Structure 1
Amino acid sequence: MEHINGFKAAVAAVVGCLTALWGWFGWLVVAWVVCMLLDYGTGTAAALRAGEWSSKVARDGLWHKLGAVVAVLVAAILDGVIGLILANIPALELPFRYEVFASVLVLVWYIMTELGSIVENVGALGAPVPAWLRKAIAALESTVDGAGDKLGSGQDDEK
């Protein structure tokens, strides 16, 4: 029992340290990485189950994930540049403290995309998926799209 309590204390200490280091944004990144891993794993399992696994398709999936990582990095750079501009140009002020915005929207959009894909993969593996879960993920993704569209021209460049 003492080993279990020691393990729990160690996990709590690590999580506390990481939270102090990363804050909530870091945990959002961790959630995204976990979703990417789950998506790749469930997609591979679904393809194997269907007898359709292909190394080319698997490689393309990895390239897709790399592209997503680059997109998140671009959003993080944009947030950094906006923060620098706001900190160094006195004429520009916001009524709140700017930390991150574009990065959060991009990360949440990718998380919703990954969750949608995971749910599809789980269905392909034969597990029943509640319709409301699919709808909730789609609704959240649509909400994030709408918030992002308000930043840009309002047109979806992805489609």
Structure 2
Amino acid sequence: MITVKGPVIAGIGAVGGVIAGFFGGWDAALITLLIFMGVDYITGLIVAGVFKNSTKTDSGALGSNAAFMGLLRKGMVLLVVLVACRLDIMIGTNFVRDAVVIAYCVNEMLSIVENMGLMGVPIPEAITKAIEILKKKSETEDKNGGKE
């Protein structure tokens, strides 16, 4: 069994803290976005690998290129969140990052629902209502500059 020493754990924590700081802090919004991104990626792999019903490949089966492109897109989403956070710092607000994270959460949730549909999983009405609420919140923040 490999044991990790205290300074190594502290170093990993420090690096993680710095990265989280770049993204505006390790808050519920960022955690939710990362969870949604992970769930979307995993459900996409299941749709393609198990159900062979993916809309991303001609055969509907799992394709390494499509999987890699999915990871690249998720990386680009995180870069947009980073840019939004930096814009907030420049203009002295916190609404740009929040609006961006909410918009991407809605997008990820829509993709998860689509994947579930491709697997034949029924979607509870509470989920579809939550998506509508998030869409409206995102639109309101876009229009009002974060002031509801």
Please indicate, yes or no, whether the TM-score normalized by the shorter chain is above 0.5. Answer: yes
Separation in 2, partners of 1:40, 1:47: 11
Q: Could you list the per-position Cα deviations for residues 35-81 of structure 1 after superposition, in whole angstroms to 9, with x for gaps in the alignment?
A: 10011001110111232211111111111101101110010000010
Separation in 1, partners of 2:121, 2:77: 27
Aligned residue for 1:37?
A: 38
Q: Matched residue pairs, number?
A: 117
Mapping of 1:8-87 within 5 angstroms?
26-51=27-52, 52-83=61-92
Q: Shift of the alpha carbon at 1:140? A: 2.2
- The residue identity in structure 2 corresponding to 1:117 is S
Aligned residue for 2:100?
A: 106
Q: Shift of the alpha carbon at 1:122? A: 1.6
Q: Point out the more displaced range, 137-146 or 72-81.
A: 137-146
Q: Kindly, what percent of the aligned residue pairs are identical?
A: 32
Separation in 1, partners of 2:124, 2:28: 27
Q: Point out the more displaced range, 50-59 or 67-76.
A: 50-59
Q: Shift of the alpha carbon at 1:25? A: 6.1
8 Å contact 2:45–2:67 — kept in the other structure? Answer: yes
Residue 141, structure 1, aligned to residue 142, structure 2: no
Unpaired segments ≥5 residues, structure 2: 1-16, 53-60
TM-score, length-scaled by structure 1: 0.63
Structure with max Cα Rg: 1
Q: Shift of the alpha carbon at 1:136? A: 3.5
When you count helix as a share of all residues, which structure comes out higher?
1
- The residue identity in structure 2 corresponding to 1:66 is G
Q: Could you list the per-position Cα deviations for residues 107-138 of structure 1 after superposition, in whole angstroms to 9, with x for gaps in the alignment?
A: 11111111111111122222111355324414
The 1:130–1:102 alpha-carbon spacing in structure 2 relative to 1, beyond 3 Å, is same
Q: State the SS of the aligned residue for 2:37.
A: helix
8 Å contact 2:117–2:123 — kept in the other structure? Answer: yes
Separation in 1, partners of 2:40, 2:100: 17
